[in-house]
Amino acid sequence: MLVVEDEPALAFRLQQVLEGAGFAVDVAYDGEDGWHLGDTEPYDAVVLDLGLPKLDGVTVLQRWREAGRAMPVLILTARSRWSEKMAGFNAGADDYVTKPFEMEEVVYRLRALIRRASGHAQPELSCGGLRLDTNTGRVTLDGVPIQLTAQEFRILSYLLHHPGRIVSRTELMEHVYDRLFESDSNSLEVLLGRVRKKIGTGMIQTVRGQGYMLTDPES
Ligand code: CA
């Protein structure tokens, strides 16, 4: 997740709440930095303030869309001015919230945007006996809740958004760790080992030289 917001206190709160909701979060404090990150890193979704130093949010969004960057973007508007929202939508925004807003609302809207962007209309994702309620972030196996750490949740959630598809090691790492986290592929293996233990062997397959794939071993 990328958060582009120049008010440090708000940026910090958003980062905390989104990390608490299971996302890996990068923060940019001006439009130029935000544009650059969104242009070069693969994000599942972006929270973009419109009033930003160096480069305004509408321009940032226009540039991303012109360059073919298609990630869902939720804009933050300072006022409930329709003209501002309309400019955001014209530039390619997917949704908006008006400041001040409930943090929970941002989380729910982002989860819905990410789910829809990966082609799922229902809030519940499943594979075999494994289910993820994307609204609450709850994961169950055969109806029994599974306790996952934040990183374990990110791995499983990402794979559940893309079942039956090979996800490369790099792609998975980018979605598990934020940009500043020092990680190596061994730590990903360790994490995957823990997730496999919790959901039962056979569901996450290692595809030699290519990556990982979530499948229902019984189908
Ligand atoms: Ca601002």
Burial class of residue 73, CB neighbours in 10 A (0-12, 13-18, 19+):
buried
Find the 219 Cα to ligand 1 centroid distance in Å: 50
Give pLDDT, residue 79.
67
Find the 12 Cα to ligand 1 centroid distance in Å: 13
Give pLDDT, residue 217.
82
The CATH number of the domain holding residue 210 is: 1.10.10.10
Find the 50 Cα to ligand 1 centroid distance in Å: 6
Find the 83 Cα to ligand 1 centroid distance in Å: 17
Residues 18 and 109 in one domain: yes
Tokens of 95: 């949704």
Find the 31 Cα to ligand 1 centroid distance in Å: 10
Residues 53 and 138 in one domain: no
The CATH number of the domain holding residue 11 is: 3.40.50.2300
37 within 8 A of 180, measured Cβ to Cβ: no
Find the 11 Cα to ligand 1 centroid distance in Å: 10
pLDDT tens figures, 2-61: 999 999 999 999 999 999 999 999 999 999 999 999 999 999 999 999 999 999 999 999
Residues 34 and 104 in one domain: yes
Q: Which residue has the tokens 């299971």?
A: 22
DSSP string, 40-81: HS--S-EEEESS-SSS-HHHHHHHHHHTT----EEEEESS--
pLDDT tens figures, 158-192: 999 999 999 999 899 888 888 777 767 678 889 99
Mean local confidence (pLDDT), 141-168: 93
d(CA 217, CA 219): 6
The residue among 89, 117, 145 that closes a domain is 117
Find the 205 Cα to ligand 1 centroid distance in Å: 44
Tokens of 155: 């791995």
B/e letters for 119-153, b = 16+ CB within 10 Å, e = fewer, are eeeeeebebbebbbebeebebeeeeeebebeebbb
Residues 54 and 86 in one domain: yes
Residues 182 and 100 in one domain: no
pLDDT over 90 at 102, yes or no: yes
Q: Which of 76, 148, 70 is nearest to 106 (CA)?
A: 76
Total domains in the fold of the chain: 2
Mean local confidence (pLDDT), 107-130: 92
d(CA 150, CA 142): 21
Angle at 31 between CA 118 and CA 21, to 5 degrees: 40
Find the 22 Cα to ligand 1 centroid distance in Å: 25
Give pLDDT, residue 25.
96
Find the 54 Cα to ligand 1 centroid distance in Å: 11
Q: Which domain holds residue 183?
A: 124-214
Find the 52 Cα to ligand 1 centroid distance in Å: 5
Among 78-92, 140-154, 173-187, which range has the highest average pLDDT? 140-154
> Which residues does residue 144 pair with via DSSP β-bridges, in sequence order?
141
Find the 6 Cα to ligand 1 centroid distance in Å: 5
Mean local confidence (pLDDT), 79-88: 82
Find the 46 Cα to ligand 1 centroid distance in Å: 15
Residue 76 lies in a domain: yes
Q: The whole model's pTM is what? A: 0.83
Mean local confidence (pLDDT), 123-127: 91
